[in-house]
Amino acid sequence: MSITVVGASNWDMFTYVDTMPRVGETIKGNDFKVSFGGKAANQVVQAALLGSKCTIITKLGDDVSGVNTLKNFKDKNINCDYISIVKDVPSGCATIIVDKKGDNNIIIVGGANDKLSVEDIENAKSQIQNSSLLLCQLEVSLDVTLKALQVAKESKCKTILNLTPINDKPIVLEMLTFTDILIVNEIELYGIYKSTFNSSDAKEDESDINELIKRGEQLISKYNKIENIIVTLGGKGQLLLCKEPKDNCHIELKEKVKVVDTTGAGDSFIGSLAHYLTKGSPMKQSIELASKVASISVTRHGTQSSYPSLSEIN
């Protein structure tokens, strides 16, 4: 059982502060760190750390960041056959500011990630179709993500679409017709609901569980390929929505932890979820186990550097 991930790899630069700077304000930071990042890279690394057989389809720049990122993948036993190096283009990077509450602001520069193409997906077609699960996000070209989902659905490969960063273009709605499991937060669910139903009068309280359930059920009814929608609720856990409404449930976090840095916690959850699903765990149990993994990551600084391995979980 294997996982293939398509998307971005970044070099993350963290600045830690007490409070976020206001517009035009210069403040003094407390610490600075660098780490490997990018949603696809984060998710594939977390799954690999838990023991999954993983492949990533991504692009890197011909620079120090790219060299180090490639080595990091190889060190994690991730298949790098579909990673290509772009000349004269920097690797993707992210500037991340983290305050003392663990909240963050992030600026991403795509760099080499923007060069990932539909041709790259065609070249990896057999890899995707022979995988148990394909995992995609929206950090690379939307055409690339759509193509990867289409290729997967030509086979028995299950698909997960992490609908972030949020985008309401028609091509994203087309992606939903090739998606088995959709993962969104409250804001992303509302955005895609509005785009689908051209709704301007819907209640905009993203914290209302009943309203989230209503939106999710309507999306599943509209896009009948979707088996599940998982709405991530931060410290309030996850909302699992299913084809059969009786199976809907709110999965609350079982343990409270001291939050140090939330950066990459969502990717830790998604990578872990992919791992447990391909190991045969039922959806609800997979969410609970993935939540446990992600709750460990927020107690540490950084993105991939905060991710626990299988031995730590055990």
Beta bridge pairs of residue 232: 185, 238
Candidate list 63, 120, 180, 267, residue with the active-site label = 267
168 catalytic, yes or no?
no
SS3 annotation, the chain: CEEEEECCCEEEEEEECCCCCCCCCCCCCCEEEEEEECHHHHHHHHHHHCCCEEEEEEEEECCHHHHHHHHHHHHCCCECCCEEEECCCCCEEEEEEECCCCCEEEEEECHHHHHCCHHHHHHCHHHHHCCCEEEECCCCCHHHHHHHHHHHHCCCCEEEEECCCCCCCHHHHHHHHHCCEEEEEHHHHHHHHHHHHCCCCCCCCCCCHHHHHHHHHHHHHHCCCCCEEEEECHHHCEEEEECCHHHCEEECCCCCCCCCCCCCHHHHHHHHHHHHHHCCCCHHHHHHHHHHHHHHHCCCCCCHHHCCCHHHHC
Please report, in range form, the residues annotated as the binding site for ATP: 185, 232-237, 266-267
Q: Among candidates 281, 3, 305, 271, which has minimal Cα distance to 162?
A: 271
Please report, in range form, the residues annotated as the binding site for K(+): 261, 263, 297, 300, 302, 306
CB of 18 within 8 A of CB of 25? no
Pseudo-torsion of CA 194, 199, 204, 210, nearest 10°? Answer: -90
Please report, in range form, the residues annotated as the binding site: 10-12, 38-42, 139, 185, 232-237, 261, 263, 266-267, 297, 300, 302, 306
Please report, in range form, the residues annotated as the binding site for substrate: 10-12, 38-42, 139, 267
User: What's CA 43's distance to the chain center, in Å?
Assistant: 6
**Quick one: 98 exposed, middle or buried, by C-beta within 10 A (0-12, 13-18, 19+)?**
buried
Q: Which residues are catalytic?
A: 267
